Amino acid sequence: MKTFLEHVAHDIINKYGYDLSRVAVVFPNKRAALFMNEYLVRIAGRPIWSPAYITISDLFRRHSSRRTGDQIKLICDLHKCFTECTGIDETLDHFYGWGQLLLADFDDLDKNMAEADKVFANLRDIHELDDVSYLSKEQIDIIRRFFSNFSEEHNSELKRRFLSLWSHIYDIYNTFNERLTYEGLAYEGALYREVAENVNIEFMYDTYLFVGFNVLQKVERRLFERLQKQGRAHFYWDFDHYYMPHGHDLRHEAGHYISQYLQLFPNELDNTDGNIYNNFSRRKDITFVSAPTENVQARYISRWLKENGRIEAGRRTAIVLCNEGLLQTVIHCLPDEADKVNITTGYPLAQSPVASLISQLIALQTGGYMATSEKYRLQAVNTVLKHPYMKFISEKHTELYRALNIDAKVYYPTRERLCTDEGTSLLFGSIDGYSSAELSGRIAEWIIDILKLIASNADDSADQMFKEALFRTYTLMNRLAGLILSDDLVIDVITLQRLIGQLLKSTSIPFHGEPVVGVQIMGVLETRNIDFDHVLILSANEGNMPKGVNDTSFIPYGIRKAHELTTVDNKVAIYAYYFYRLIQRANDVTILYNNSTDNGTTGEMSRFMLQILVESNHNVGRRSLQSGQSSIKFAPVEVCKTDDIMNRLLLRFDKNRNGHKEGTPLLTPTAINRYMRCPKQFYYNYVCGLREPETDDSDEIDNRIFGNIFHEASQKIYERITAGGTHITADNIKWMLSHGAEIERIVDETFMEELFKLPKGAGTRPEYNGLQLINREVIITYLRKLLRMDMQLAPFDIVGLETDVIEDMEVCGGGSVRFRTTVGGRIDRLDCVNDGTGERIRVIDYKTGSRRLEYMPDIAAIFDSANISKHSDYYLQTFLYSSIVSKSVLTNPRNLPVSPALLFIQHATGSDYDPTLCFGKNPVRDINDCHQEFETLLHEKVNDIFNPAIPFVPTSDDDICRICPYMQLCGNSGK
């Protein structure tokens, strides 16, 4: 079947011959020209003088002395006019959305050649209109109906504010147009109107052929009429008898506009020729397919293309996206066989890595830079250093990252420290010292310089998408910088950041390809004038086809309709034409829609699909796609202890197998507690060796670091008090409490080592931020509280601080699994006290958290996994340490009673506070009272860990799963 453009090409050759040098073929868009040119050459069968191919937009622009301004420039100027006329001091980024709406309203008003003073008339009263002489009775009724919504009783203030804003729009319109005229610029509607009203235009070509138009703005009709009167305009209309009116039968809205224009601008082709205009009613394979998600629709593409020779049909096959947000998914779902594809829609620039880099660079120079100290925040620096494009900026970025995070923790690096080569010198070089407005321009230029550096260092083999995204971003930033330097755009840095974000979201990256070769992937608008044999339409939901009815505008619907501006009704008719024209000549049509309800929208098929089902004579096939997924209850996947896993366990914990490695295999209370918490978590950590990263570029202090600083500082304070001895008196502690500067010095020194990762004796007090200062004060308060509590306990002896205790354990894991390992760990503090019940050694573990201790009822409760959230892990740790201490000649030479203790600093109040652990309400004064039972249960639990018959089973505790670092790997996300 011949396409519409083929019929047009035949007619052009027949009527105008082979010399078309004085002929201009005008299309609604550019794409059709490529197909038309090929048809002309093929039909002519010989060399010809090609006609000029121009779009309707080009036709207007060629006959105006003014240029169309880009949207950034236009909205900047509109913002100034808005501020001048209303006195409202709105920032540009907040105004930008308003500006787009206002500009669209002005554009529509001028393209429809409406009288601005009449449209923007100040309608002060709902009963009286200022000047109605120019309005018809129908128009007056429409306006009255609109203002009847403003009840005097309830909405008088709303009406007053609306009319107040309305009264300024005409001033803004005039001021804006005067400003643009002075600059030799115009927005598209104003330029079109100027050309349409200029009767002195000298047109370039002898003949203008207008091909495939549908709706015409009044400016276009005016131009068509003028050229028609001169005998220079001829028209080719693309339609089908199916949706054109027959007598009083208006049929579909698809033919609403063309039916009007055929009388004004007669068709060059024969309207009665069924080969051209009676194709929709011919036999077609039409299939409607419902799908539960958008992505499922995209995945269907591969299967669809492989059937019925659709890939081999090449450019006669089209995939049309009613929702262009599906483009990325569609690209990934194309089969390998479809090696030639032409994509007419663009890739969103905001989703490219270069867009994230721009955002990070501006964040680096705003929140990431402290102008007073001329230093950067580490978190902002790290974000940039970890960006994938850093490899194009600096070869030493990984070394710089290590120097700031691993070798030391430099939370506030200086420029001197950051500038290690040419790339980092540009990245972290000085751009301050400017005023607020000047700084915006400087940052824009700085970003441009970085983009140039990336481009120059990128390999020639870099993918085309990377290059195109870089070029688009460079062009955008260059335009912004030019506007700022010319004072057209006066904004601060924050506004610049928001504005760039909006511009990136509204910019797309075009794909390059041969338009007339391969499967065509298109948006709806690109299908105009082009016919296909095989058509797949995706996301043909109500709201996508036609586009949603949200017609946001400063000009209400009633006023628009009264003054014959574009309304939602027009847009529905326009999309109806696009839809029917797309499928009227196709033989094979598949239309997909999303049938699920999501985000408050129901999955309804397009009204046009319903029309085909109800009104057409076609037998429509109905299919549905399934996602192939179903909700299933999580079934924990256990890990059996295979020979390989057992070998890994023994290599990690068997003293004999581990002997050749440095250090001693140590089964810590933390490891045992992890096993009781979740055996599979133990497997990931100790068998697979998957550790949680400890590095953090945040300058905040988490609980682990806070606890480490407190522990280290308390150790240093008691080492300072004892001065190498062991005996502590009340006077010793009183002296330390009276020397607050000494406590602060020790805390600062500990911060330097634990938080800032600097070696001992590295220097003076570190530079804290606000949160770090608060944490510093809290730690100092805790240390003072500990000292005051110990002063009431004195005299006592310090047996050890941060003392390592270990002992060998015989493991019988079952069968032939027998080996020796080492258990133990580090005790925060060992002291010897006499509190009236006799001397005893306390094994003390400091706790700085806010949770209160829940006492265990007995020894067995410590090894019950159900109690893991009730501090049974704390009990296990201190009881194990106490058991080892009680048996060690080094730590307990006099065989004193040993008691386990947890000292919760926040809750250590009152002179009678005793940190000794209890069973119920009974303190454990001597570990030997329960030593035998504890040892038995401990051995049983350790033997379970190494028993080949007991697999590593995931826990069923949802609370543990939610905070587990291996949650995604395990697949158990809790209920």
Question: What confidence tens digit (pLDDT) does each residue in 635-661 have?
Answer: 568 899 999 999 999 999 998 886 545
Stretch among 336-340, 698-702, 808-812 having the lowest mean pLDDT:
698-702
Determine the average pLDDT of the residues in 298-310: 94
Which residue is it, tokens 């138009």? 213
pLDDT tens figures, 872-883: 688 899 999 999
Residue 445, amino acid? E
Average pLDDT, the chain: 86
Confidence of residue 405 (pLDDT cuts 50, 70, 90): confident
How far apart CA 24 and CA 27 sit, in angstroms, is 10
Q: Domain locations in the chain?
A: 4-63+201-277, 67-194, 285-345+517-559+578-624, 350-509, 703-961
How far apart CA 802 and CA 823 sit, in angstroms, is 16
How far apart CA 83 and CA 136 sit, in angstroms, is 35
The larger pLDDT score, comparing residue 13 to residue 436, is at 13
How far apart CA 608 and CA 253 sit, in angstroms, is 10
- pLDDT greater than 90 at residue 12: yes
Stretch among 228-232, 311-315, 433-437, 797-801 having the lowest mean pLDDT:
433-437
- pLDDT greater than 50 at residue 126: no
Beta bridge partners of 246: 249
Determine the average pLDDT of the residues in 662-685: 87
Q: What is residue 929's three-state secondary structure?
A: helix
- Percentage of the chain beyond pLDDT 90 is 54
Determine the average pLDDT of the residues in 251-274: 91
Q: What is residue 101's three-state secondary structure?
A: helix
**Running DSSP on this structure, what letter comes out for residue 664?**
-
- pLDDT given at position 601: 56
How far apart CA 448 and CA 466 sit, in angstroms, is 16
**Running DSSP on this structure, what letter comes out for residue 918?**
E
For β-strands 796-814 and 817-834, DSSP reports them as: antiparallel
Here the tokens at position 956 are 């069923």
DSSP string, 688-728: S--PPP-----SS--HHHHHHHHHHHHHHHHHHHHTT--EE
Which residue is it, tokens 């790290």? 382
Contact in structure between 411 and 464 (CB atoms under 8 Å): no
Question: Which range has the top average pLDDT, 206-220, 487-501, 563-577, 954-968?
Answer: 206-220
Confidence of residue 484 (pLDDT cuts 50, 70, 90): confident
Measuring CA to CA, how many Å separate 617 from each of 113, 398, 406, 457, 681? 42, 67, 73, 62, 64
Q: Which residues contact 813 (CB under 8 A, 6 or more apart)?
A: 943, 945, 946, 947, 948
Residue 819, amino acid? F
**Running DSSP on this structure, what letter comes out for residue 518?**
S
Measuring CA to CA, how many Å separate 11 from each of 7, 30, 211, 236, 349? 6, 21, 12, 10, 42
- pLDDT greater than 70 at residue 694: no
Confidence of residue 163 (pLDDT cuts 50, 70, 90): low
Contact in structure between 843 and 901 (CB atoms under 8 Å): yes
How far apart CA 765 and CA 215 sit, in angstroms, is 74
- pLDDT greater than 90 at residue 459: no
pLDDT tens figures, 132-161: 555 566 666 666 665 555 444 444 554 554
Determine the average pLDDT of the residues in 72-82: 90
Neighbour tally for 725: CB within 10 Å? 10
**Running DSSP on this structure, what letter comes out for residue 642?**
-
Q: What is residue 832's three-state secondary structure?
A: strand
pLDDT tens figures, 337-360: 998 898 888 888 988 899 999 999
The alpha carbon of 372 is separated from its chain's Cα centroid by a whole number of angstroms, namely 32
Contact in structure between 341 and 521 (CB atoms under 8 Å): yes
Fold of 285-345+517-559+578-624: Rossmann fold (3.40.50)
Question: Which range has the top average pLDDT, 101-115, 538-552, 957-971?
Answer: 101-115
Determine the average pLDDT of the residues in 18-32: 93
- pLDDT greater than 80 at residue 366: yes
How far apart CA 196 and CA 537 sit, in angstroms, is 37
How far apart CA 661 and CA 14 sit, in angstroms, is 92
How far apart CA 871 and CA 314 sit, in angstroms, is 69
Burial state string for 91-109 with b = 16 or more CB within 10 A and e = fewer than 16: ebbebbeebbebbbbbbbb
Fold of 4-63+201-277: Rossmann fold (3.40.50)
DSSP string, 425-476: HHHHS---SS-HHHHHHHHHHHHHHHHHHHHHHS-TTS-HHHHHHHHHHHHH
The larger pLDDT score, comparing residue 513 to residue 379, is at 379
- pLDDT given at position 160: 53
- pLDDT greater than 50 at residue 483: yes
How far apart CA 393 and CA 423 sit, in angstroms, is 5
How far apart CA 760 and CA 750 sit, in angstroms, is 9
Instruction: Please tell me if the domain spanning 4-63+201-277 has the same topology as the one spanning 285-345+517-559+578-624.
Output: yes
For β-strands 588-594 and 534-538, DSSP reports them as: parallel
Contact in structure between 821 and 809 (CB atoms under 8 Å): yes
Beta bridge partners of 320: 522, 537
Helix (H) or strand (E) holding 944: helix 931-945
Here the tokens at position 720 are 């300072």
Determine the average pLDDT of the residues in 728-735: 92
Measuring CA to CA, how many Å separate 261 from each of 190, 266, 587, 614, 902? 24, 8, 28, 28, 90
Torsion of CA 158, 162, 167, 172, to 10 degrees: 140
- Percentage of the chain beyond pLDDT 70 is 89
Confidence of residue 441 (pLDDT cuts 50, 70, 90): confident
The larger pLDDT score, comparing residue 788 to residue 753, is at 788
Stretch among 56-70, 125-139, 233-247, 396-410 having the lowest mean pLDDT:
125-139
- pLDDT given at position 657: 82
How far apart CA 33 and CA 37 sit, in angstroms, is 6
Measuring CA to CA, how many Å separate 322 from each of 332, 345, 526, 552? 18, 11, 11, 20
pLDDT tens figures, 502-558: 888 888 888 766 677 889 999 998 899 999 999 999 999 988 898 765 567 778 777
E strand residue ranges, 241-332: 285-291, 317-321
Long-range contacts of 374-377 (CB under 8 A, 24+ apart): 374/414, 374/415, 374/432, 375/412, 375/413, 375/414, 375/415, 375/767, 376/412, 376/413, 376/414, 376/415, 376/418, 376/428, 377/411, 377/412, 377/699
Integer-rounded Cα Rg, in Å, for the chain is 39
How far apart CA 268 and CA 428 sit, in angstroms, is 66
- pLDDT given at position 287: 96
